[in-house]
Amino acid sequence: MCLFCKIASHEIPAEVLYEDEHVMAFKDIAPQAPVHFLVVPKKHIETIMDAEENDKELLGHLLFYGQKIAKEQGCEEKGARFVINCKTDGGQTVGHLHLHVLGKKQLYWPPG
């Protein structure tokens, strides 16, 4: 089982912000901003490019709860950064799809 599958099944502890039968949101272990959490599908999908037609609803669910939790974390007024890294060029290090949400820090574009 991969790292985020283990977190999603409570085999490895995490600071969980939200959980339902489809997704889990938890704080990033190495936060890059005062608010930095990840939202993962409970289903193992390796990268965003491995999503299939029947995952469309799940992807919407993931993004919906990402923004909802961002607001609960106090990011509504000033916004946040929503990021999905994919494979090597995208800088993905954990092979289980995850949405990063970073807030409470002024970020810039383009990224490094």
Catalytic site includes residue 22:
no
b/e per residue 75-111 (b: at least 16 CB within 10 A):
beeeebbebbbeeeeeebeeebbbbbbbbeeeeeeee
How far, in Å, CA of 106 to CA of 57, rounded?
Answer: 31
Which listed residue (1, 2, 91, 107) binds ligand AMP by CB under 6 A?
Answer: 91
Residue 93 binds ligand AMP (CB under 6 A): yes
Q: Among residues 22, 61, 96, 98, which one is catalytic?
A: 98
Q: Which is nearer to ligand AMP, 3 or 51 (CB)?
A: 3
Residue 14 binds ligand AMP (CB under 6 A): yes
How far, in Å, CA of 51 to CA of 28, rounded?
Answer: 23
Site of interaction with ligand AMP (CB under 6 A): 3, 14, 26, 28-30, 85, 91-94
